[in-house]
Amino acid sequence: MLAAPALALGAAADDVHPIPSMFDPVSPPAEMIRGLSFLVMGIAAGILVAVSGVLFWCVWRYRARPGDDREPPQVYGSDQIEWSWTIVPVLLVLVLFLATWRTIDEIEASEPPPGSLHVTIVGHQWWWEIRYPDLGVVTANELHLPVSADGARRPTYLTLESADVIHSFWIPQLAGKMDVVPNRTNRLWVEPRATGTFVGQCAEYCGTQHAKMLLRVTVHEPQDFERWAAAQRAPAASDASVAEGRAIFQSTACINCHALDGTVADGSFGPDLTHLMSRATIGAGAAANTPENLRAWIEDPHTFKPGVLMPAMKLDDQQIDSLTAFLVTLR
Amino acid sequence: MTVLDEGIARPREDEARAGAWSKVHDWAVTVDHKKLGVMYVVSALGFFLIAGLEASLMRIQLAFPNNDFLPPTTFNRLFTMHGTTMVFLVGMPMFFGMANYLTPLMIGARDLAFPRLNSFGFWLFLFGGLLLYFSFLGGDGLYGAGTAPDVGWFAYSPLTGRAFSRGNSTDYWILGILVSGLGSTATALNIATTIVTMRCPGMTYLKMPLFVWLMLVNCILTLVILTPLTAAQVMLLFDRFLGAHFFDTQAGGSAVLWQHFFWFFGHPEVYVLILPAFAIANEVVPVFSRKPLFGYPFMVGATVMIGFISLSVWAHHMFVVGLSPAANTFFAASTMAIAVPTGIKIFNWLGTMWGGKIRFRMPMLWCTAFVFSFVIAGLTGVMLAVVPWDFQLSDSYFVVAHFHFVLIGGLLFNIFAAIYYWYPKVTGRMLSERLGRLHFWTFATGFYVTFLTMHFPGLLGMPRRIYTYDAGRGWDELNLISSLGVAVQAVGLLFFVWNLLWSLRNGEHAGDDPWDAWTLEWATTSPPPEYNFEQIPVVHSRRPLWDLKHPQDPDWKYE
């Protein structure tokens, strides 16, 4: 990873939690869900043991013995027994329902406190556009957030929109998922209490490359987050030594789909490339963002992500070298 | 009278110019509910093997991280076809086949109410299915985009719109299902009419075998829910061909509208698939426990309750769509409520076994495994109804594991039970118990290895419908174990198919009533004659054959 040391963000970006387990939450909505899940699993385990216990007892105790051909007593039923095994499940369901109701309210009725961060996520086939309207930052696929502490809460309220089909935003350690639906604005609330990088991915089937629509969330100490945001706001690097690659970029169809600050490129179909090299991956997590991978990606994105909507541009080797050299300056 | 005479005389002429073609002709033009029932079940088994093969290919792809066995486009087609096939071309026709064959026999009738409609319904189903599968050849359409449909079995819009699904693959999905759905509507109407109007003398509603009760509820449910699905599919066709914008979000249409239509069909559909499983258990468990079903009136009540409540739970498939908290709370309540009548059913099967003398022949083995699996399926179902937890579990592998416990541990186990139970009636031969046990232990073991394991990658954040995943997510070994279980299941299926074929010629002769059972289908010969009963029977209780066998102590004294 080239970009991380340059920005001195090493600690949080490198501390990757690779297993997105819902039982290892670091944010209140996910913690509430885990708490509720323990209650439900406890009740379920009790029912499973009781019912399968009776089943195994019947199998053992009431199996037919060889040579015994007489019919057992014919019992047709019992109203008392029926009502009792109706009422007990009703009570259990009532308990589960009340616990569910309360947690729905706690999670969904949460209002943003002052100092909350607002981020807009736009799902695309097959990548995530990420906008921080208050900070003037636009990036893709890798969400950066400040850590929240008891004295200094920094929850983040996400606005979820789609540019094409339905996607679903899911970082199990931070919160449950929320669908990203075209013509509809959904909201989701996270409040990470630990620094580090947490992973997730699109959870609603959205076409060919649904599998490679990955998400990374890097949670920083507050000052590191401010530094990251400042770096993202900075104008794109402009290095005279890569003018040739820059010219190729501006004279090919790249500019129709990608935006790059300070150039003619203002497309919105693909990710913003202004600070491309500040990201750890390319193709929404399809590959690590190294110069070699980037070069191979430009040559033919379909080797990493078959079916991706970015075409191979049919450039010659020298053009690809120049273009790659230009892109790797975009820190 | 002369018409009847001709009807009897004609088969002899056919035998005279016997040959394979006349047999094919017989089956193709038949309106006999038994032949149609067999054709339904055999077609469903054929589609089941195809869809199972599709699943196996997917499990090979997912056995290892970053596997290249299948490209994403192929994988997406496979899960679409697997799901669509299993629901519409396996589960539904299994239900219709069993209902077709058994309902008239159980209520003492000579055929369904509308025999020609019955034949029409079957052929619509079969050709609808073939149309869907023809997409592998014909789906390219104008744009060369795709062969078989790749939009998932619930075909969420706007992925199905012209903009995102070019070519004709989605149209094959729409038309194949629409055509077979018309067949299902016809057959459901037919069976419901038969049950309401053609019961033999003495068989009041509360003296019908529970199997028949469940078929009645199921047919009514089918009639209610297929309508919105068909309507939504026609609307989608309008969107795709006539420029309508029902679901076209780029022109102001609604993606969520499709989900409401689809799940208003789709969730009751789950009950349409599982009620026949309950129906089978309701027949098998008492006969092999040697006791009448415990709490018959409560079982009827629970069935009707399930039918009603199942119509008001659909949005639990949509908890993560962003509905209001009030809507989510309502659908959590209705979904949890349905656990109560379902629980009553399980308790009544246990109550039937309690105090019995249980004969663990093949049908009962499968039903016992069903009860255990279904308890697990029910409990994971309640977990999914807990809305906040569903925010995590929805669309993960946990859901995939859950509904395979419902549809394999619940439905398929009972279909196996039914086939072991009624094969002697249909063919006159017993299935081999030895092959049956091999089938049972390998298949059930493989099932548990695959699907019990599959819950865990879901809990670790693995979404469904992904064709590959990175190493190191904590999913690698779990997926490998799941895939290995499929191989064990496949071996089990080989024993099963071999048993079906081998026993057809070599099985023990069954006689009329091999299980010492109590319902009317065992009162006639195996296989039954075309007219089912020489004389229409008269019944006095829920177990007419018990009364016949125990004239000193008949059921009607106690019911």
A105-148, pLDDT tens digit by residue? 989 877 888 889 999 999 999 999 999 999 999 999 999 999 99
> For B451, what's the count of Cα atoms within 13 Å in the CB-facing half-sphere?
25
Query: Rounded to an integer, what distance in angstroms lies between the CA atom of residue B42 and that of residue B98?
Result: 11
Contacts of B248 in chain A (CB under 8 A): none
If you average pLDDT over residues A58-63, what whole number do you get? 96
User: Minimal CA–CA distance to B127: which of B77, B170, B176?
Assistant: B176
Nearest to B389 among A36, A54, A105 (CB): A36
Q: Which two tokens stand for residue B428?
A: 């006159």
> Mutation test of the interface with chain A: which of B391, B456, B518, B542, choosing the one with the most A Cβ atoms within 10 A?
B391
> Mutation test of the interface with chain A: which of B387, B400, B405, choosing the one with the most A Cβ atoms within 10 A?
B387
Per-residue pLDDT of B264-323, as tens digits, reads 999 999 999 999 999 999 999 999 999 999 999 999 999 999 999 999 999 999 999 999
* 3-state class percentages of chain B: helix first, strand second, coil last, to nearest 5: 70, 0, 30
Q: How far is B236 from chain A (nearest CA, A)?
A: 15
Query: Rounded to an integer, what distance in angstroms lies between the CA atom of residue B144 and that of residue B169?
Result: 10
Query: Rounded to an integer, what distance in angstroms lies between the CA atom of residue B47 and that of residue B458?
Result: 28
Query: Nearest chain A Cα to B302, which residue?
Result: A86
Determine, for residues A211 and B371 on separate chains, whether the beta-carbon distance falls below 8 Å: no
Give the pLDDT band (50/70/90) at residue A238: confident
For A102, A121, B125, the CA distances from A29, given in Å and listed in that order, are: 13, 19, 47
pLDDT at site B19: 80
pLDDT at B2 over 80: no
pLDDT at B112 over 80: yes
Average per-residue pLDDT for chain B: 93
Residue B518 identity (one-letter amino acid):
W
Determine, for residues B76 and A208 on separate chains, whether the beta-carbon distance falls below 8 Å: yes
Nearest to B461 among A90, A172, A175 (CB): A172
pLDDT at site A135: 95
pLDDT at A312 over 50: yes
Contact A99/B at CB under 8 A: yes
> Mutation test of the interface with chain A: which of B466, B515, B553, choosing the one with the most A Cβ atoms within 10 A?
B466
Determine, for residues A179 and B322 on separate chains, whether the beta-carbon distance falls below 8 Å: yes
Contacts of A108 in chain B (CB under 8 A): 325, 328
Contact B359/A at CB under 8 A: yes
- Chain B 296-315, residues with CB within 8 Å of chain A CB atoms: 296-298
Nearest to B474 among A19, A125, A176 (CB): A19
pLDDT at B63 over 50: yes
Q: Which residues contact B242 (CB under 8 A, 6 or more apart)?
A: none
Query: Rounded to an integer, what distance in angstroms lies between the CA atom of residue A242 and that of residue B447?
Result: 59
pLDDT at B5 over 50: no
pLDDT at site B448: 98
Q: How far is A296 from chain B (nearest CA, A)?
A: 18
pLDDT at B75 over 70: yes
Q: Phi and psi dihedrals of B65, rounded to 5?
A: -65, 150
Query: Rounded to an integer, what distance in angstroms lies between the CA atom of residue A192 and that of residue A170?
Result: 14
- Chain A 15-34, residues with CB within 8 Å of chain B CB atoms: 18-23, 29-30, 32-33
pLDDT at site B4: 44
Query: Rounded to an integer, what distance in angstroms lies between the CA atom of residue B173 and that of residue A178?
Result: 28
Q: What is the 3-state secondary structure (H, E, C) of A228-256?
A: HHHHHHCCCCCCHHHHHHHHHHHHCCHHH
Contacts of B465 in chain A (CB under 8 A): 205, 210-211
Contacts of B387 in chain A (CB under 8 A): 100, 103-104
Cβ atoms of residues B547 and B556 within 8 Å: yes
Nearest to B159 among A165, A200, A201 (CB): A165
Q: Which residues contact A261 (CB under 8 A, 6 or more apart)?
A: A235, A236, A272, A274
Determine, for residues B320 and A178 on separate chains, whether the beta-carbon distance falls below 8 Å: yes
Nearest to A89 among B340, B376, B467 (CB): B340
The residue with tokens 């879901």 is: B458
| Interchain CB contacts (distance < 8 Å): A and B | 279
Contact A109/B at CB under 8 A: yes
pLDDT at B542 over 60: yes
Per-residue pLDDT of B364-400, as tens digits, reads 999 999 999 999 999 999 999 999 999 999 999 999 9
If you average pLDDT over residues A100-106, what whole number do you get? 93
Q: How far is A318 from chain B (nearest CA, A)?
A: 30
- Chain B 112-151, residues with CB within 8 Å of chain A CB atoms: 150
Contact B484/A at CB under 8 A: no
Contact B290/A at CB under 8 A: yes
Cβ atoms of residues B51 and B84 within 8 Å: no
Q: How far is A317 from chain B (nearest CA, A)?
A: 27
pLDDT at site B146: 53
pLDDT at B349 over 70: yes
Query: Rounded to an integer, what distance in angstroms lies between the CA atom of residue A191 and that of residue A28?
Result: 6
Determine, for residues B159 and A23 on separate chains, whether the beta-carbon distance falls below 8 Å: no
Query: Rounded to an integer, what distance in angstroms lies between the CA atom of residue B504 and that of residue B102?
Result: 20
pLDDT at site B168: 87
Per-residue pLDDT of B6-58, as tens digits, reads 444 455 555 555 688 888 999 999 999 999 999 999 999 999 999 999 999 99
Query: Nearest chain A Cα to B553, which residue?
Result: A74
Per-residue pLDDT of A155-176, as tens digits, reads 999 999 999 999 999 999 999 9
pLDDT at site A139: 96
Nearest to B394 among A177, A199, A202 (CB): A177
User: Minimal CA–CA distance to B112: which of B542, B532, B432, B502?
Assistant: B532
Q: pTM for the whole thing?
A: 0.94
Q: How far is B6 from chain A (nearest CA, A)?
A: 47
Q: How far is B90 from chain A (nearest CA, A)?
A: 24
pLDDT at site B137: 80
- The CA-based angle B440-B443-B449, given to 5 degrees, is 130
Q: Phi and psi dihedrals of B42, rounded to 5?
A: -65, -40
Contacts of B372 in chain A (CB under 8 A): 52, 55
β-bridge partners, A122: A129, A161
pLDDT at A57 over 60: yes
- Chain A 224-243, residues with CB within 8 Å of chain B CB atoms: none
Secondary structure letter of residue A155 according to DSSP: -
Nearest to B386 among A96, A108, A187 (CB): A96
If you average pLDDT over residues A217-245, what whole number do you get? 94
pLDDT at site B556: 86
- The CA-based angle B266-B87-A177, given to 5 degrees, is 50
Per-residue pLDDT of B419-447, as tens digits, reads 999 999 999 999 999 999 999 999 999 99
Nearest to B357 among A68, A108, A199 (CB): A68
The 3-state DSSP class for residue B526 equals: coil
pLDDT at site B239: 96
Determine, for residues B254 and A58 on separate chains, whether the beta-carbon distance falls below 8 Å: no
Nearest to B388 among A81, A103, A206 (CB): A103
Determine, for residues B325 and A21 on separate chains, whether the beta-carbon distance falls below 8 Å: no
Per-position DSSP letters for A1-49, written without gaps between them: --HHHHHT-HHHHH-EE----TTS--SHHHHHHHHHHHHHHHHHHHHHH
Q: Which residues contact B516 (CB under 8 A, 6 or more apart)?
A: B287, B549
pLDDT at site B16: 52
Contact A203/B at CB under 8 A: yes
Contact B474/A at CB under 8 A: yes
Per-residue pLDDT of A17-51, as tens digits, reads 999 999 999 999 999 999 999 999 999 999 999 99
B472-477 long-range contacts (CB < 8 A, ≥24 apart) are B472/A18, B472/A19, B472/B65, B473/A18, B473/A19, B473/A20, B473/A199, B473/B65, B474/A18, B474/A19, B474/A21, B475/B65, B476/B64, B476/B65
Secondary structure letter of residue B249 according to DSSP: G
pLDDT at site B17: 57
Contact B452/A at CB under 8 A: no
Q: How far is B459 from chain A (nearest CA, A)?
A: 6
Secondary structure letter of residue B292 according to DSSP: P
pLDDT at site B139: 63
Alpha helices in B290-324 (DSSP H): 296-309
Nearest to A72 among B159, B356, B379 (CB): B356
